Amino acid sequence: MICLGNPAFSRFSAPAAAFVTLMTAGPLGALDYEKDIQPILMNKCADCHSDEAGKSKGGLKFDDPAHFHKRFSKNSAVIPGDWDASYLFVTIFRPPDSKEAMPPKGKGESLNREEVMKVMQWIAEGASINGTRGEKGTMPGDFDALLADMPGHHLAKKGKAKSETSLFPKRATPAEEDWTNTEGKTIKAVLVKVEDGKAHLRMQNGKVYKYPVDKLSKESRERLEGRSDPDMK
Ligand code: HEC
């Protein structure tokens, strides 16, 4: 049962627990190297870091997860949980013309903002790779705050990017509201967004549940209307 020990539910009795089990998704799955990160690195780094190209510059090959995993500790390439101290992150975060930047200046396309944040999230979540996962760390609350003292940084936000809202909730989080389902059970949660017929509701413990809109009460559904993107206001 996913809600046990969740303080958000402590004031509810058994029926409230039933509400939670109705919720379709459990905690969001962590990013995985082979599935989520390798394609990004192979797209922009393969020329010099892959078996495919026959090159492992700096001793790193991104198309060989077992090999890459063994190199995590080399020059602190990846320190699971600690994106800040991971050299891989440093190289993709540095402005493209800097000495430590990867790909090297003029030798390819840098990762974009979304890709950098994905790598960051993957490391923060413990850098799951080759069937194992290390220690979990924390994510910054706000990516732009990291860039605040680096004017003109190439990763600074230019427009509002939609997909980032769930990854980096704004510091001033939207207010909690009561959400009631068709069975009359109510929970307190922040509406993150509505997508594919599901309301993404963030509980006090930070977990986001995807709840089918059509299982919400008429009143809750009416409140959702016109608010399909609450964070973008
Ligand atoms: C044009 C070739 C080239 C491309 C493309 C390239 N790299 Fe590199 N990379 C190198 C070279 C050369 C080194 C070794 C530098 C050194 O030892 O000083 C290196 C070293 C590294 C290191 C440090 C390894 C260590 O322990 O010292 C990391 C991390 C890295 N690259 C990541 C990347 C990432 C991520 C990308 C894609 C965004 C990328 N590289 C794209 C050539 C490249």
Q: Is 44 in the pocket of ligand 1 (CB under 6 A)?
A: yes
pLDDT score of 226: 65
Please, which residues bridge with residue 32 across strands? 128
* Structural contact between residues 154 and 161, judged by C-beta atoms closer than 8 angstroms: no
Query: Within its chain, how far is the Cα of 111 from the centroid?
Result: 16
- State in Å: Cα 181 to ligand 1 middle: 52
C-beta of 47 in contact with ligand 1 (< 6 A): yes
The CATH number of the structural domain formed by 7-19+174-224 is 2.30.30.700
How far does residue 144's CA lie from ligand 1's centre (Å)?
25
The number of the ligand 1 atom at minimal distance from the alpha carbon of 71 is 26
- 76 alpha carbon to ligand 1 midpoint, in Å? 13
Length of the chain: 233
The span from the CA of 6 to the CA of 169, in Å, is 20
Q: What is the pLDDT of residues 6-28, one digit of tens each?
A: 333 333 333 433 343 333 333 45
Give, for ligand 1, the residue of 42, 48, 109 to mutate: max count of ligand atoms closer than 8 Å to Cβ. 48
pTM: 0.64
Tokens 């890459």 correspond to what residue?
Answer: 68
Q: Residue range 24-35: average pLDDT?
A: 69
Closest by Cα among 76, 82, 121 to 100: 76
pLDDT band at 152 (very low <50, low <70, confident <90, very high): confident
Q: Is the CB of 78 under 6 A from ligand 1?
A: no
Q: Phi first, then psi: give them for residue 94, nearest 5 degrees.
A: -60, 140
Residue nearest to atom 4 of ligand 1 (CA): 103
What are residue 210's DSSP bridge partners?
200
Cα–Cα distance, 37 to 31 (Å, whole number): 8
Q: How far is the CA of 91 from the centre of ligand 1 (A)?
A: 8
**Least confident range of 45-49, 128-132, 174-178, 199-203:** 174-178
pLDDT of residue 36: 96
pLDDT score of 114 more than 90: yes
Question: In the predicted model, is pLDDT for residue 161 greater than 60?
Answer: no
Q: Are 153 and 181 in contact (CB under 8 A)?
A: no
pLDDT of residue 190: 84
DSSP-based helix, strand, coil % in the chain, nearest 5: 35, 15, 50
Quote the mean pLDDT of the chain.
Answer: 80
Work out the average pLDDT over 196-212.
85
Classify 196 in phi/psi space as left (phi over 0), alpha (psi -120 to 50) or beta. left
pLDDT(136) > 70: yes
Segments making up each domain of the chain, as ranges: 7-19+174-224, 33-165
Of 33, 102, 118, the one to substitute when testing ligand 1's pocket (max ligand atoms within 8 A of C-beta) is: 102
pLDDT band at 110 (very low <50, low <70, confident <90, very high): very high
CA–CA distance, 72 with 77 (Å, rounded to integer)? 5
